[in-house]
Structure 1
Amino acid sequence: MNNIAFPKLGISLNISPVAFSIGSKPIYWYALIILSGFLLGLFFVYKTCEKRGVKKDNVWDIALFGLIFGIIGARIYYVLFALDEFDSIADMFKVWNGGLAIYGGIIGAIISTVIYCMVKKLNIAKVFDVCAPGLFIGQAIGRFGNFVNVEVYGGETNSLFGMSINGATPVHPLFLYESIWNVIGLVILLLIRDKKKNDGQVFCFYIFWYSFGRLFLEGMRNPNYILYVIPNVLGISQLVAILFMIAAVSAFVVLQVKAKKDNEI
């Protein structure tokens, strides 16, 4: 049980990571929150996909494969940059002990979706555009799993949203900042997606927006939760964020140019 308080907001909560138990098996809030985010994101995409040219049956398949390979990718990503945390190869497979990285999850889901679209001969760019709002929804909700687990927080702060953990000095609640960032991204995406010049540009916006926010928030994070590529200098997630931003902007420009040429023909 942890006491999580926001002193300046007058909020104080006693939270256990365990929601309930089935027999001797504990069911964690983290898993339930992640699942809730996934299902709500899926529901939104399911309700909006057909008018945007993607069948509902395809959405179910993409979601299932994305979930499976997203978890696999998230675990592989984490393990690769935290090898010193594991005493044996068997420990690397114990996902229930924690250790999933969101970028690995995104990469895994992207790979599975691309393969699925190629097999089914679907428009890959259009599919990713349709799924982008669901990703924002899932991540905005999923970050509250980190709140329950008392993780993903930054340095000490006197700000209005300062979060105190078990009576300690308030720190930046990065999980909340990132969740809000994703909600803002979702609103902007919904406002601009009908103005795209070419399929794929909506997904480019998602990648850029999420990565831009992650670049800065990762730098504010408690060092204990950073996977470093250069010790105490550059986190692997920051490096990936920079690469993703460059890729997103480049792809957006290429698609914009392509749309302009197609209109001139």
Structure 2
Amino acid sequence: MRNLIDPIAFTIGPIKVHWYGIIMASAFLVGMYLAYRRAEQTNIHPEHIINMITLIIPAAIVGARLYYVIFEWQRYADNPWETLAVWHGGLAIHGGLIGGILAGYFYVRKHKLPVWQIADICAPSVIIGQAIGRWGNFINQEAHGGPVSLQFISKFPEFIKNQMFIDGRYYHPTFLYESLWDFSVFVFLFLYWKKKRFEGEIALLYLVLYSLGRYFIEAMRTDSLMLGPFRVAQLVSLFLIVTGTAVIIYRRKKTKHKE
């Protein structure tokens, strides 16, 4: 009998508390703390970060769920109430980014804050949150890749090996690949902060670097959202890589010209 991790962490009376929810809440809290501390080091009042995140979190969750449900509507057409069961998984990161960015932009414009500076403060928090959040997919046995051999999966820790045994087969722990990539991007952005050449560079580098890793990891996954024959996440990643790189080059040249 394999020691699978129970997706329910504990119960309080009739309420079941899922590991997925605990992990996602932890991701938000860590991100909030880091953004708050970074704001303290700048001319942005840190209370703006708390106020903004109270809007961003629900907007990101709604955006992530809507994005997923839209592309997977055939799974929910006969049971629309299941669209509310976010603890079963099914939160698309790109949808969460769209929802979060829109909410954040609304707050920044309302309070006349510097958009690019706020984006730089938030970007490292977003990527570390994604790195943590992928472990929620691990608990739910989702966001994995294709089948692998016992010899291959045995190179991983036993608890990962056991959790990646699904319906009689072992699968690529792509959640782990993306979590490690996201954490590496976070470390780079954290170290690069003092070297940034213009406001917004950290945010743009986040979009480019995250998308670069996501593009290749997405090719290994078995649960990709599809648009015809194309993987939606790969299309979005390509767009963000090209657009983000172009803006970085343009703004670096513009900054150099001013200097």
Task: Describe the superposition over 1:82-119 as per-residue Cα deviations: whole angstroms up to 9, x where unpaired.
Answer: 11111255544443454211110011111111111111
The DSSP-based 3-state class of the residue aligned with 1:197 is coil
Are the counterparts in 1 of residues 56 and 103 from structure 2 also a CA contact under 8 Å?
yes
Tell me the C-alpha RMSD between the 2 structures. 1.9
Question: Where does residue 64 of structure 1 map in the other structure?
Answer: 54
* Residue number among 105, 129, 133 corresponding to 1:138 in the alignment: 129
TM-score, normalized by length of structure 1? 0.88
Runs of 4+ with deviation above 4 angstroms: 88-91
Question: Where does residue 210 of structure 2 map in the other structure?
Answer: 210
Matched to 2:242, the amino acid is: I
| TM-aligned CA deviation for residue 187 of structure 1 | 1.1
Question: Where does residue 116 of structure 1 map in the other structure?
Answer: 107
Question: Given the alignment of the two structures, is residue 45 of structure 1 paired with residue 35 of structure 2, yes or no?
Answer: yes
Q: 1:14 to 1:95 in 2, by over 3 A?
A: closer
Are the counterparts in 2 of residues 132 and 206 from structure 1 also a CA contact under 8 Å?
yes
Task: Describe the superposition over 1:176-217 as per-residue Cα deviations: whole angstroms up to 9, x where unpaired.
Answer: 111100111111111212111110010011111111111111
- The aligned length equals 249
Are the counterparts in 1 of residues 31 and 125 from structure 2 also a CA contact under 8 Å?
yes
Map 1:60-209 onto structure 2 (within 5 A): 60-86=50-76, 87=78, 89-157=80-148, 158-159=151-152, 160-161=155-156, 163=161, 164-165=164-165, 168-209=168-209
Equivalent-residue separation in structure 2 for 1:20 and 1:212 (angstroms): 37
Question: Where does residue 7 of structure 1 map in the other structure?
Answer: none
| TM-aligned CA deviation for residue 23 of structure 1 | 1.2
Question: Where does residue 19 of structure 2 map in the other structure?
Answer: 29
* Residue number among 230, 237, 258 corresponding to 2:228 in the alignment: 230
Report % sequence identity: 35
TM-score, normalized by length of structure 2? 0.90
Matched to 2:141, the amino acid is: V
| TM-aligned CA deviation for residue 41 of structure 1 | 1.4
Question: Where does residue 9 of structure 1 map in the other structure?
Answer: none
Greater CA deviation, 91-100 or 240-249?
91-100
Q: 1:15 to 1:95 in 2, by over 3 A?
A: closer
Task: Describe the superposition over 1:47-85 as per-residue Cα deviations: whole angstroms up to 9, x where unpaired.
Answer: 221212321111101211110110111011112111111
Task: Describe the superposition over 1:122-174 as per-residue Cα deviations: whole angstroms up to 9, x where unpaired.
Answer: 11000010111111211111111111111111123343238341584432101
Equivalent-residue separation in structure 1 for 2:257 and 2:62 (angstroms): 40
Runs (5+) with no aligned partner, structure 1: 4-12
Are the counterparts in 1 of residues 89 and 140 from structure 2 also a CA contact under 8 Å?
no
* Residue number among 15, 19, 23 corresponding to 2:9 in the alignment: 19
